[in-house]
Structure 1
Amino acid sequence: MNKPLPHILLVDDNRTTISLNKLLIAKVDNAAELHTAPDGKAALELLQEFVRTNTRFPDVILVDLKMPVMDGIEFYRIYKQTFDPDLVAHTKVVMLTTSLAPSDFKQAKDEGIEFFLNKPLTTAKLKEILV
């Protein structure tokens, strides 16, 4: 049985970072379905649209920790409260960050975020999370 192609949501406020990460994702799996959002609020709206239109929910959400409008931790908090627990359990949420501050990691862990990747992404890091 073939594994379905990964459906990925990339959330980052930096256009250059989004462009670079799109290229990396295509290099790792050029058949991946990829959506992007510029902040946590826009990501939540996109996810709600997926549910409303019965569009496949992402397998992986890569979300930047530090963003204006709504940061990654606030996004995750609302995401867990808003969506069906089965969808939340199905989706791997990966926090992306350049921060090395232990307090950022502690706050994210306290919210239940299990996966972290330091920026910049690499093909090796992507392969690990897409498995």
Structure 2
Amino acid sequence: MMPNTVLLVDDEPVFNFITENLLKRINLAKEVYSVFNGKEAMKLLQDAFAGVRNIPSHIFLDLNMPVMNGFSFLEEFNKLPPDQRDDIKIIVVSSSQNPLDIAKAKSYGIEDYISKPLSPDVLKQILA
């Protein structure tokens, strides 16, 4: 099953650009949204739940971002009604290998925690 929609949440435009192109090139996503912080991600999700956009099947989430970081996003995401969030898989993609960050992220029920940069093999493992 190919995921229809992936949401990239990262404040590095280069990461978003490269990952979006990679996902499309290896045919793992039909649609990719990119936002630069958790606040923009929550707005996009609200639009998706309202029918304005497709609801992402997967969210690739950075932890260290301005405005609203990854942990604050996870906090807000987990307040959503279960029927809205249950089918969305969140994968934290971070340069942090701090065991405390990893444990904290996993406590929010994320699907996986992986290190930057993303490779085609890692993306295939997660999305295929």
Q: TM-score, normalised by structure 1?
A: 0.89
Q: Aligned residue for 1:89?
A: 86
Q: Deviations over 1:30-54 (max 9, x none)?
A: 6521111110000000110111235
Q: Aligned residue for 2:70?
A: 72
Identity %: 33
Out of 51, 54, 75, the residue aligned to residue 53 of structure 1 is: 51
1:93 match: secondary structure: strand
Q: Aligned residue for 1:129?
A: 126
- Moved beyond 4 Å, runs of 4+: none
2:41 match: secondary structure: helix
Q: Deviations over 1:44-101 (max 9, x none)?
A: 001101112353311000010111111111101101102x312311111000101111
Whether 2:38 is the aligned partner of 1:15: answer no
Q: Aligned residue for 1:100?
A: 97
Change (3 A) 1:5 1:93: closer
> Which letter does structure 1 place at the counterpart of 2:76?
I
> Which letter does structure 2 place at the counterpart of 1:32?
K
Count of residue pairs brought into register by the alignment: 128
Contact 1:62–1:95 (CA under 8 A) maintained in structure 2? yes
Structure 2, unpaired ranges of 5+: none
In 1, distance between residues paired with 2:43 and 2:15? 21
- Counterpart mapping for 1:32-51 below 5 A: 32-51=30-49
Change (3 A) 1:129 1:4: closer
Q: Aligned residue for 1:109?
A: 106
Q: Comparing both structures, which one devotes a greater share of its residues to helix?
A: 1
Change (3 A) 1:122 1:48: same
In 1, distance between residues paired with 2:116 and 2:57? 20
Q: TM-score, normalised by structure 2?
A: 0.91
Change (3 A) 1:4 1:17: closer
Cα RMSD, aligned residues only:
1.6
Structure 1, unpaired ranges of 5+: none
Q: Aligned residue for 1:120?
A: 117
